[in-house]
A and B are shown apart, each in its own frame.
Chain A
Amino acid sequence: MTSVLVIDDDADLLRALRINLSARDYRVATAGDGGAGLSAVAREHPDAVIVDLGLPDMEGADVIRGVRGWSSVPIIVLSARDQEAQKVEALDAGADDYVTKPFGMDELLARLRAATRRIPASTGAPVIETADFRLDLQAKLVRLTSGAPVRLTPTEWQLLETLARNRGRLVSRLQLLQQVWGPEYHTETHYLRVYIAQLRRKLEPDPSRPRYLLTEPGMGYRFSD
Chain B
Amino acid sequence: MVVRSDVLRSTLLRKPARRTVGVGRRRLVLGMLLAALALPGLTAVLNFAHGRLELVDELLLYLLVVVLVTLVGGLWPSVLAALAAGLLLNWYFTPPLHTWNVDAPTNVLALCLFIATAVTVSAVVHRAARAGALAAARAAEADVLLGLARTVLAGDDSPQAVLDHLHDTLGLAARLEERADDGWILLASAGASDGGATTVLPAGATLRLVVQVEPGAVGDRVLDGFAAQAAAARVRHRLRIQAEQSEALSAANRMRTALLAAVSHDLRTPLASVKASVSTLRQHDITWTDADRDALLATIEDGADRLTALIANLLDMSRIHTGAVEPFIRSVALDEIVPLAARGLDGAAHLIVDVPEDLPLVCADPVLLERVLANLFANALRYSPPARPPSVRAECVDGPSTVAISVIDHGEGVPAADRERIFEPFQQLGDRRPAGGVGLGLAVAKGFAEAMGARLSVLDTDGGGLTMRVDVPVSRAARHPARSRP
Using CB atoms and an 8 Å cutoff, list the residues of chain A in contact with chain B: 9-13, 15-17, 19-20, 23-24, 53-56, 59, 80-82, 101-106, 108
Contacts and interface: CB of A to CB of B under 8 A. Distances in A.
Contacts of A16: 273, 276-277, 280, 296, 299
Given A15-B295, A16-B296, A55-B432, A80 B275 contact: no
Nearest to A24: B286
A9 B268 contact: no
B434 interface: yes
Contacts of A11: 435
Contacts of B279: 104-106
Contact of B265 (A56, A81, A103): A81
Q: How large is the interface on B (under 10, 10 to 19, 20 to 34, 35 or more residues)?
A: 20 to 34
Given A54-B430, A56-B434, A12 B283 contact: no
A106 B285 CA distance: 11
Contact of A105 (B265, B283, B432): B283
Nearest to A80: B268
B431 to A, nearest CB: 3
Nearest to A57: B432
B432 A54 contact: yes
Contacts of B280: 16, 19-20, 105
B393 interface: no
A12 B302 contact: yes
Secondary structure dominating the interface of B = helix
A192 B434 CA distance: 42
Contacts of A80: 264-265, 268-269, 272, 431
A10 B272 contact: yes
Interface in B456-477: none
B303 interface: yes
B302 A23 contact: no
B272 A102 contact: yes
Nearest to B286: A23
Contact of B431 (A13, A81, A102, A108): A81
Interface in B260-313: 261, 264-265, 268-277, 279-280, 283, 286, 288, 292, 295-296, 299, 302-303
A100 to B, nearest CB: 8
A27 to B, nearest CB: 16
Given A11-B435, A15-B273, A102-B268, 13 more contacts: A12-B277, A12-B302, A13-B299, A19-B295, A20-B280, A54-B430, A56-B432, A80-B265, A81-B265, A81-B431, A101-B268, A101-B272, A104-B275
B430 to A, nearest CB: 7
A55 B433 CA distance: 8
Contacts of A23: 286, 288, 292
B276 A105 contact: yes
A10 B269 contact: yes
A13 B277 CA distance: 8
Interface string B233-276: 00000000000000000000000000001001100111111111
B268 to A, nearest CB: 4
Residue from B271, B303, B435 whose CB has the most chain A CB atoms within 10 Å = B435
A106 B431 contact: no
A103 B275 contact: yes
A12 B275 contact: no
Contacts of B277: 12, 16
B437 to A, nearest CB: 9
Which 7 pairs, one residue from A and one from B, show the smallest C-beta to C-beta distance?
A54-B431, A101-B272, A12-B273, A80-B268, A105-B279, A102-B275, A102-B272
Contacts of B275: 102-104
Contact of A102 (B276, B434, B435): B276
7 contacts: A9-B435, A13-B272, A13-B299, A54-B432, A56-B433, A81-B431, A105-B280
B296 A13 contact: no
A140 to B, nearest CB: 36
Contacts of B432: 54-56, 59
A105 B264 CA distance: 21
Contacts of B434: 56
B273 A10 contact: yes
Residue from A10, A56, A81, A108 whose CB has the most chain B CB atoms within 10 Å = A10
Residue from A12, A13, A17, A105 whose CB has the most chain B CB atoms within 10 Å = A12
Contacts of A15: 273, 295, 299
Contacts of B302: 12
A20 B366 CA distance: 44
B307 to A, nearest CB: 11
B162 to A, nearest CB: 46
Contacts of A13: 269, 272-273, 276, 299
B431 A53 contact: yes
A103 B276 contact: yes
A13 B268 CA distance: 11
